[in-house]
């Protein structure tokens, strides 16, 4: 019976069905199941499966994104229960993510966010066109250990440097690490602005993020 | 044909990817999207224009919803044909539905160095060099500012680039690198100097402006404000949608066309409401997203179909089109680059897209390659040749020659052959040599194309821009630079 329920939970993630995953999470609450059991033995199994399939090239981005959404829906139900027990999920790290000021390119940043969440990071995605003070303010507010900045224009990549300089001025590094990315970003640029890490794609971004928070 | 420019005209090949009924459905879907879902216009000026013209404006979300009639009436005010002026009037280009004009690609970030072949960050000298080579080719009819001059200040970069192109070519210049008010004002001043006064820009626009929409269903504030300034003085202005299936647009092609169309048509209507009769164009580079990594494919069958479909939409609205072609994801000039360049340019040309962008880039419009540019030009020449079709008449049926040769023999000695031989296409970069010759040299199109670019760069001297004008440009640029 329990095994059946775990399977259904995993399947709801694989199907990317947020309604069902939330329903199953609710059922777990009603059955007085420990929230972490439901997450680890049920929902996460689905996320891992989709992640593996994606890695093999057999699942596609929309499936990954929808699995992420379904996971979020389940967590939204289970997290309050977990808090009641005085416990929390173990995350790899907390990331504040944004596309820099003056830049509205969104897709790459969003994909990086999707991959990071799917890999166990807590991601706060601020969206596009975000000024330095907003990014830093949010990172301080949520006590993030990583700031991720996307820039796709040669005219806006300088904003990445501004954020780093500001963090240094406030003595916030190395407590907060900085990862950057986007079409014009090269290794040279990353060295020049003294960012902690960069990646050319979203899968690489997960690897870099894990290294930066010391989880690899 | 204008001086030193090859354009496609009087096409003999036709292709109908969308029926009139399809177009009507897409149009109706578009109007419904604009009325019910709305389009985001994050510019105070734009929102005020919409409000003054009876649109429903949500100032907080910056979303505008507009009744179909307002959109349809506004679009009708757009001129169906006009010209892009060049520094050399003999190189003016007609946007009249009967000319396909090739442009370079634009706004890249890196270049394969013409001497070392190494990939490096783009700079101002690259912009000059590319302009000069493009000036010499007959395929390139106008420039898109090719690369970002990353060694110039951020706030005036778009202006340094424009100056560099005008100083190195007499052909028309289009930019997508001017997308804020300050630079737009300065660029207009530059265009005014070239035209001999602001009032003459409308008659002789040597600059045109391309702005991206922000899919799905949005615009960028800076781009909108820049477009409004340009349209006001008669600089041809277009909005380009890049709605990409699966990420910024619906996964299905029809849905993606409808979303992109809604962005472009709403933006175009705004310009017409503000400045009725302003020269505008439709621009598009729609494509699919790669399902594995989300990348903008810039090629593949979906992209080619969009290339052929969009001009049918632009024709329906009776405005010129600038169509993205040649955008390949290939990392070097190779099979993929040739395939994507060939099919995308053919599909967009066969429907007579007025402007065909853009030769020269690799890696999804990011890396410039001179070899790629030259080979793309040859692809355009091939399409140009194909579009002339097959002429059937007494002379081309060659009955006299056929009778003279009879069964057996050959046509090499016939006057008819000699008379028409130069009509056959003569490739510059195709390998038709004996195998053994290739075996000893092991060279190919890429080497020949690069060699041609190098030679052109060394030898071609474009008509210089008046030094006084250069100096005035310099002053304008300085005035926007931070002290
Ligand atoms: C935190 O850590 C990390 C780590 C890794 C990170 C990371 C962060 N962020 C990204 N990564 C990395 O991982 C991601 C996933 O694999 C990757 O993200 P990417 O974003 O690279 O990849 C995405 C999955 C798919 N790629 C994309 O979505 C970008 C593709 C291209 C074609 C592109 C698109 C689609 C768009 N554009 Co724009 N656009 C181009 C792009 C050319 C290109 N091929 O890159 C580029 C970047 N654009 C350009 C330009 C000029 C512009 N664009 C503009 C607008 C747009 C659209 C809105 C139409 C659209 C974006 C739609 C959207 N909602 O996001 C304008 C910008 C306005 C503004 N203020 O921002 C405008 C200025 C044009 C105009 N005049 O209006 C060029 C910039 C050139 C330059 N020299 O600066 C450009 C190279 C194309 C070109 N040659 O013209 C990696 O980079």
All structural domains of chain A with their residue ranges: 2-84, 93-212
Q: Are residues B417 and B383 in the same domain?
A: no
Strand order in the sheet with B119-121: B119-121, B110-112, B367-368, B361-362
CA B114, distance to chain mean position in Å, is 23
Looking at the structure, tell me whether residues B359 and B409 fall in a common domain.
no
Say if residue B211 is in the same domain as residue B121.
yes
ipTM of the complex: 0.91
Structural domain includes residue B16: no
Instruction: Report residue A209 as tokens.
Output: 């993020």
B234, B330: one domain:
yes
Pairing of strands B56-58, B63-65: antiparallel
CATH of the domain at B355: 3.20.20.480
Q: Tell me which of A108, A179, A189 to substitute to probe ligand 1's pocket, judged by most ligand atoms within 8 Å of the beta carbon.
A: A108
| pLDDT (0 to 100) of residue A10 | 97
The reported pLDDT for the residue numbered A74 is 96
- Tokens describing residue B168: 């190195």
Contact between A151 and A100 (Cβ < 8 Å): yes
pLDDT tens digit string along B70-111?
Answer: 999 999 999 999 999 999 999 999 999 999 999 999 999 999
d(CA B62, CA B55): 12
Question: Residue A168 above 60 pLDDT?
Answer: yes
Which residues, other chains included, contact B220 with Cβ-Cβ below 8 Å and sequence gap of 6+?
A104, B42, B179, B211, B212, B213, B214
pLDDT value at B268 more than 70: yes
Closest by CA to B171, choosing from B245, B101, B116, is: B101
Q: Any chain B CB within 8 A of the CB of A154?
A: yes
Q: What is the pLDDT of residues A42-74, one digit of tens each?
A: 999 999 999 899 989 999 999 999 999 999 999
What is the whole-number distance in angstroms between the Cα of residue A157 and the centre of ligand 1?
12
pLDDT digits (tens, 9 = 90+) for A124-166: 999 999 999 999 999 999 999 999 999 999 999 999 999 999 9
Q: Do A108 and B291 touch (CB under 8 A)?
A: no
Q: Coil, strand, or helix at residue A79?
A: helix
Nearest 5 degrees, angle CA B281-CA B283-CA B289? 170
Contact by Cβ (8 Å): B47, B62: yes
Task: Tokens for A132, please give them.
Answer: 């330095």
What is the tally of structural domains in chain B? Answer: 2
Distance CA B482, CA A158 (A): 15
CA B52 to each of CA A196, B56, B181, B275: distance values in angstroms, whole numbers, following the listed order: 50, 10, 22, 13
Question: Mean pLDDT score of chain B, rounded to an integer?
Answer: 96
Q: Mind listing the pLDDT tens digit for each residue in A94-120? A: 999 999 999 999 999 999 999 999 889
Task: Give kind and range of the element (H or E) at residue B376.
Answer: helix B370-387
pLDDT (tens digit, 9 = 90+) per residue, B322-333? 999 998 999 999
CA angle B358, B165, B427 (to 5 degrees): 45
Q: What is the pLDDT of residue B1?
A: 46
Q: With contact defined as beta carbons under 8 Å apart, do B268 and B218 qualify? A: no
Q: Are residues B373 and B281 in the same domain?
A: yes
Dist. CA B327–CA A47, nearest whole Å? 35
Q: Given this model, what pLDDT does residue A213 score?
A: 94
Measure B155 CA to nearest chain A CA, in Å: 8
Record: contact A155-B289, CB cut-off 8 A: no
Summarize pLDDT for B40-68 with one digit per residue, the tens: 999 999 999 999 999 999 999 999 999 99
* Residue owning tokens 């110039």: B152
Domain span including residue B129: 75-388+470-478
Q: Specify whether the CB–CB gap between A105 and B213 falls below 8 A.
A: no
**Could you tell me if residue B432 is inside a domain?**
no
Q: State pLDDT tens for residues B282-294.
A: 999 999 999 999 9
Q: What is the predicted pLDDT for the residue at A102?
A: 94
Q: Report the DSSP beta bridge partners of residue B63.
A: B40, B58
Q: Which pLDDT score is estimated for B349?
A: 97
Q: Is B294 close to A158, i.e. CB distance below 8 A?
A: no
| B184 part of a folded domain | yes
Query: Within this chain, do residues B352 and B323 fall inside the same structural domain, yes or no?
Result: yes
**Angstrom distance (rounded) from CA B173 to CA B86:** 8
Distance (Å, rounded) from C-alpha B263 to C-alpha B224? 12
Tell me what pLDDT residue B173 has: 98
Percentage with pLDDT > 70 across chain B: 99
Given a contact cutoff of 8 angstroms between Cβ atoms, the answer to whether B77 and B272 are in contact is yes
The 10s digit of each residue's pLDDT in B418-454 is 999 999 999 999 999 999 999 999 999 999 999 999 9
Report the C-alpha gap between A208 and A202 in whole angstroms.
Answer: 10
- What is d(CA A184, CA B310) in angstroms, rounded to the nearest whole number? 29
Size of interface A-B (CB pairs under 8 A): 47
d(CA B369, CA B381): 18
- Of B154, B165, B134, B146, nearest to B108 (Cα)? B146
- E-strand stretches of B247-346: 280-284, 287-288, 321-324
Q: Given this model, what pLDDT does residue B298 score?
A: 86
Question: What is the arithmetic mean of pLDDT over A13-29?
Answer: 97
Domain A93-212 has CATH 3.90.1300.10: no
- Judged against a pLDDT cut of 60, whether residue B23 lies above it is answered with yes
Chain B environment of A60 (Cβ under 8 Å): 291-292
Q: Which chain B residues are within 8 Å of A100, Cβ to Cβ?
A: none
Q: How many CB atoms lie within 10 A of CB A168?
A: 13
Instruction: Identify whether residues B273 and B419 lie together within a single domain.
Output: no
Contact B366 A188 (CB under 8 A): no
Chain A (155-214) residues lying within 8 Å, Cβ to Cβ, of chain B:
155, 158, 183-184, 186, 188, 201-203
Contact A158 B289 (CB under 8 A): no
**Which tokens sit at B129?**
């060099």
What is the value of pTM for the model shown? 0.94
Give pLDDT, residue B253: 98
Tell me, using a 6 A CB cutoff, whether residue A199 lines ligand 1: yes
Confidence label for B483 from pLDDT (cuts 50, 70 and 90): low
CATH domain A2-84 topology: 1.10.1240
**B338 CB-side CA count, 13 A:** 11
């Amino acid at each position: 019976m329990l095994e059946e329920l775990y399977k259904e939970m995993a399947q709801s993630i694989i199907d990317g069905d947020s309604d069902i995953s939330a329903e199953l999470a609710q059922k777990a609450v009603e059955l007085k199941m420990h929230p972490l059991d439901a997450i680890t033995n049920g929902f996460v199994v689905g996320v891992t499966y989709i992640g593996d399939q994606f890695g093999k090239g057999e699942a596609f981005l929309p499936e990954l994104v929808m699995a992420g959404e379904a996971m979020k829906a389940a967590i939204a139900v289970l997290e309050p229960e977990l808090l009641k027990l005085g416990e929390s999920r173990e995350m790899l790290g907390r990331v504040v993510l944004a596309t820099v000021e003056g830049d509205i390119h969104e897709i790459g940043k969003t994909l990086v966010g999707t991959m990071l969440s799917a890999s166990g990071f807590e991601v706060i995605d601020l969206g596009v066109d975000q000024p330095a003070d907003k990014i830093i303010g949010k990172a301080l507010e949520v006590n993030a250990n990583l700031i991720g900045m996307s820039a796709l224009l040669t005219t806006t990549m300088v904003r990445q440097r501004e954020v780093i300089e500001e963090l240094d001025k406030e003595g916030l590094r190395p407590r907060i690490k900085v990862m950057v990315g986007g079409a014009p970003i090269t290794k040279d640029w990353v060295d020049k602005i003294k960012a902690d890490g960069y990646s050319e794609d979203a899968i690489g971004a997960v690897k870099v993020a894990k290294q930066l928070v010391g989880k690899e | 044909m204008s001086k030193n420019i090859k354009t496609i005209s009087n096409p003999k090949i036709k292709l109908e990817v969308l029926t009139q009924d399809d177009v009507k459905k897409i149009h109706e879907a578009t109007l419904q999207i604009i009325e019910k879902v709305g389009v985001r216009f994050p510019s105070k000026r734009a929102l005020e224009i919409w409000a003054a013209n009876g649109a429903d404006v949500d100032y907080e979300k910056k979303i505008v919803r507009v009744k179909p009639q307002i959109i349809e009436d506004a679009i009708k005010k757009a001129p169906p044909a006009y010209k892009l002026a060049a520094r050399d009037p003999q190189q003016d280009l007609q946007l009249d539905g009967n000319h396909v004009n090739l442009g370079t690609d634009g706004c890249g970030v890196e270049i394969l160095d013409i001497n070392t072949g190494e990939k490096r960050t783009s700079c101002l000298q690259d912009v000059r060099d590319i302009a000069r080579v493009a000036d010499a080719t007959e395929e390139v009819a106008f420039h898109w500012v090719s690369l970002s001059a990353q060694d110039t200040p951020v706030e005036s970069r778009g202006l340094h680039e424009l100056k560099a192109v005008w100083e190195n070519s007499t052909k028309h210049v289009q930019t997508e690198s001017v997308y804020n008010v300050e630079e737009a004002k300065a660029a207009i001043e530059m265009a005014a100097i070239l035209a001999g006064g602001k009032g003459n820009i409308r008659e002789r626009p040597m600059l045109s402006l391309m702005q991206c929409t922000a899919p799905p269903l949005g615009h960028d504030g800076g781009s909108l404000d820049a477009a409004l300034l340009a349209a006001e003085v008669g600089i041809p202005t277009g909005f380009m949608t890049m709605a990409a299936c699966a990420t910024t647009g619906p996964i299905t092609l029809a849905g993606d066309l409808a979303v992109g169309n809604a962005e472009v048509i709403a933006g175009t209507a705004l310009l017409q409401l503000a400045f009725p009769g302003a020269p505008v164009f439709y621009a598009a580079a729609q494509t699919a997203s790669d399902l594995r990594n989300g990348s903008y494919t810039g090629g593949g069958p979906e992209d080619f179909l969009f290339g052929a479909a969009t001009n049918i939409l632009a024709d329906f609205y009776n405005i010129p089109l600038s169509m993205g072609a040649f955008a390949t994801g290939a990392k070097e000039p190779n099979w993929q680059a040739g395939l994507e360049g060939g099919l995308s340019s053919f599909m967009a040309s066969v429907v007579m897209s007025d402007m065909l962008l853009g030769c020269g880039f690799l890696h999804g419009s990011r890396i410039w390659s001179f070899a790629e540019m030259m080979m793309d030009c040859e692809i355009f020449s091939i399409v140009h040749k194909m579009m002339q079709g097959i002429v059937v008449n007494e002379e081309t049926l060659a009955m006299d020659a056929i009778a003279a040769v009879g069964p057996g023999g050959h046509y090499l000695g016939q006057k008819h052959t000699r008379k028409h031989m130069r009509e056959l296409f003569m490739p510059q970069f195709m390998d038709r040599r004996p195998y053994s010759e290739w075996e000893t040299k092991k060279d190919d199109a890429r080497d020949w194309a690069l060699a041609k670019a190098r030679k052109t760069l060394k030898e071609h001297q474009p008509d210089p821009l008046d030094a006084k004008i250069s100096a005035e440009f310099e002053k304008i640029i300085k005035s926007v630079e931070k002290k």
